[in-house]
Amino acid sequence: MVGVHLLVELAGDHPQLPFAELDILGPVLERGTQVALVDCQHAEEIPRLALAHSVMEHLGSCPAEKGAFSRMLNDLAISSPRPFAGRVKKVYGNTMDASQAELERLIGSLVQGKVDLQNPAEEFRAIVAGSRCYLGRVLWRSDPRRFGDRRPGDRPFFHPGVMMPRMVRALMNISCARQGERLLDPFSGTGGMIMEAALLGIIGIGSDIDPEMVRGSRMNAREGVILRADGRRLPFRDESFDAVVTDLPYGQSVSIRARSLDSLYHDALGEISRVVKPGRRVVLVTHRDIRMRAGNFMRVEGCYSQRVHRSLTRNILVLVRDG
């Protein structure tokens, strides 16, 4: 499936972050509201996606008009050998002049084959976003329960403030770390990053200066390697990791030995840029804007803000170490 154009239906809980994780599949060719067109280079990574609802083989697109949609279906001359259903999603703010039901009836009448709305073997799905309408054949659909059965509170060791598995998975995808590669979390806390890495076949190595966190994360992340180490002086060789993903410490409750968070961040950024391979990504979660500081060590490729609650905004910083 290399080189196939995929249509990805995205979650709507963040305007930009779902696009960032699509890099694990290939270049994003076109962006719309909650929809993206991707030049797929790594189809095997589709099931990794955390912020996507479905992935489709892209069949065509047209202006968001009923007549244009009908003409596109006629021109495509789609035939399905298996019972199929036509489904349509209209994203808020679209300009389509027809209802969802009208568009679904067009799919049912203009695709050759047997319609089965109750138990279809195949689904043709249209996404109407803004002034465009995209049509695809569904290849994969996310199961919303797949992250709910491993909540942080159900782990052997728990500490408040940890990220939920769905967000951790998205960060892994943004890092573009792949199966068999080495990923470092130098502030591993309860081990959530290392646990997620193991599920993806990534060799996860974590470290933390707090002995309680090291003991607890070893209970949680039994398939990973957790060391006690200072994030300012990492015990790893230069250019020894394919990616770094970490949630940087913040607040007075964090066990740190630096003079201040500023000095901790400075020293940690220097160490992270030392141990990651040239051309590879570092994904940092922070609770302040450190783009200027981080830019002294690595190239800033992206920055995304996510409001967690009234007093906390999470910043996700994507860096690349240039060769």
- The residue type of 317 is L
List pLDDT tens digits, range 84-119.
999 999 999 999 999 999 999 999 999 999 999 999
Q: Does domain 5-141 correspond to CATH entry 3.60.20.10?
A: no
pLDDT value of position 1:
56
Average pLDDT over residues 215-222: 96
Confidence of residue 149 (pLDDT cuts 50, 70, 90): confident
Is the confidence at residue 180, as pLDDT, over 60? yes
Every domain range in the chain assigned CATH 3.30.2130.30 = 5-141
pLDDT value of position 138:
98
pLDDT value of position 213:
94
| Strand arrangement, sheet containing 225-228 | 225-228, 203-208, 182-185, 243-247, 281-286, 312-320, 299-309
Confidence of residue 161 (pLDDT cuts 50, 70, 90): confident
- Give the C-alpha separation, 308 to 227, whole Å: 29
- Give the C-alpha separation, 206 to 189, whole Å: 9
- Give the C-alpha separation, 102 to 180, whole Å: 48
pLDDT value of position 323:
80
Sort 184 into a burial class: Cβ within 10 Å, 0-12 / 13-18 / 19+. buried
Confidence of residue 313 (pLDDT cuts 50, 70, 90): confident
List pLDDT tens digits, range 64-90.
999 999 999 999 999 999 999 999 999
List pLDDT tens digits, range 121-141.
999 999 999 999 999 999 999
Every domain range in the chain assigned CATH 3.40.50.150 = 150-320
List pLDDT tens digits, range 220-266.
999 999 999 999 999 999 999 999 999 999 864 444 566 788 899 99
Average pLDDT over residues 5-30: 96
* DSSP codes joined into one string, 148-189: GGG-GGGSSS--TTPPPHHHHHHHHHHHT--TT-EEEETT-T
**Phi (first) and psi of residue 145, to 5 degrees:** -85, -10
Q: Does domain 150-320 correspond to CATH entry 3.30.30.60?
A: no
**Tokens found for residue 242:** 């394919």
60 or 260, which is more confident: 60
- Mean pLDDT across the chain: 94
**E runs forming strands in the chain:** 5-10, 28-32, 35-39, 52-63, 84-90, 122-129, 132-141, 182-185, 203-208, 225-228, 243-247, 281-286, 299-309, 312-320
pLDDT value of position 19:
98
